[in-house]
Homo-oligomer: A and B are copies of this chain.
Amino acid sequence: MVTLAEVAQHAGVSASTVSYVLSGKRSISANTRQRVERSIRELGYHPNAGARALASSRSNIIALMIPLRTDMYVPVMMEIAIAVATAARTHGHDVLLLTGEEGPDAVRRVAGSGLADGMILMDVELDDERMPLLRATDQPSVLIGLPADTTGLTCVDLDFRATGALCVEHLAKQGHQDIAVIGEAPAVYERHTGFAERTLDGLRTRSRELGVRLLHRPCEGGYDAMAVTLARILDERPDTSGIIVQNESAVEPLLALLRQQGRAVPEDVSVVAICPDQVATQASVRLTSVAIPAQEMGRHAVEQLVAKFEGRGSDEVVLLAPELTVRGSTGPAPTRP
């Protein structure tokens, strides 16, 4: 393994000079710089990560804590993770993958060991046990998702409240008066996951303002659960003409069931989904949807964190504005006979 000292010797300069060429923290004559750079190339030198971390107390690593659960929104998480990794690289950082399994201990471990310079947490719950720790340590961090109390924290998320409102507006504008919301699995609401509750809040508030009726039902994924949920909804509100789905694994079953029951989309029923674009475009009907801007969230989180490393950056909550893309699954409400 090639060391700094070897490069220095090869280039006929001192070790510190090589270090300064690498970091650019002091001016180096063009001549020397070129000699050093040539030696680095010829010897195939790579700085030793451990030594660098020790001497500079900066590891150039960002820890990313993803949930252990693989029951929900997996492609979105993956997309965020990849966006984080990609963005981190452009800032000269690598990404350490932590699963939620360790819970708060992981925060302690990473902060304590100097393994990472900062961390990004996904799947934040409203009352998350990691928050007190995060506030206590001086380890910079950014959350993807929103806890109940955001004081002293930096967060990035889709504005789910606005998302809910946007969906209702879109349907109401087309004359729909009875709207059903098919949500995530009951467990998600029981866990008080922030995004689910905030969406619901947005949906309810806006529908109240617009004077449309709203019925919300959680739903496990899959065909069978969907059949039961849909039957109950149509039983309670036979005039339902608009459906908003916020549950990836309920989308296709819903469409299949509607088709089976002879309800045409969008002629008889309009459907709006809150889901990744991929799901919306690959469904059996191209769905009008609000996408989860995974890429943007990941990139944003990294940039906030890097800003903190450099002393700029502040504790703020960034809510990304939702965008509704109209595709083929929504249209005017049918006129009642």
Verify A97–B98 contact, CB threshold 8 A: no
Verify B99–A97 contact, CB threshold 8 A: no
A281 within 8 A of B: yes
Indicate the member of A2, A89, A259, A284 with the most B CB atoms within 10 Å.
A284
Stretch at the interface among A48-56, A144-152, A201-209, A317-325: A48-56
A266 within 8 A of B: no
Write out the residue numbers on chain B whose beta carbons fall within 8 Å of the beta carbon of A255.
Answer: 256
Write out the residue numbers on chain B whose beta carbons fall within 8 Å of the beta carbon of A53.
Answer: 49-50, 53-54
Verify B222–A281 contact, CB threshold 8 A: yes
- Residues of chain A from 151 to 183 with CB closer than 8 A to chain B in the complex: none
- Residues of chain A from 1 to 42 with CB closer than 8 A to chain B in the complex: 1-2
Give the Cβ gap from A18 to chain B, nearest Cβ, in Å: 15
Stretch at the interface among A69-77, A189-197, A230-238: A69-77
A282 within 8 A of B: yes
Verify B114–A221 contact, CB threshold 8 A: no
Give the Cβ gap from A298 to chain B, nearest Cβ, in Å: 11
Interface flags, A55-95, vs B, CB<8A=1, else 0: 00101010010101010001101110110011001000011
Verify A95–B94 contact, CB threshold 8 A: no
Give the Cβ gap from A97 to chain B, nearest Cβ, in Å: 5
Chain A positions within 8 Å of B, measured between CB atoms, are 1-2, 44-54, 57, 59, 61, 64, 66, 68, 70, 74-75, 77-79, 81-82, 85-86, 89, 94-99, 101-102, 108-109, 112-115, 221-223, 249, 252-253, 255-256, 259-260, 281-285
8 residue pairs of the A-B complex, CB under 8 angstroms, read A1-B112, A49-B114, A51-B54, A54-B54, A68-B82, A81-B81, A223-B285, A252-B284
Besides A44-B112, A223-B283, 8 other A-B contacts (C-beta < 8 A): A47-B113, A48-B113, A49-B115, A75-B75, A89-B101, A89-B102, A97-B97, A256-B259
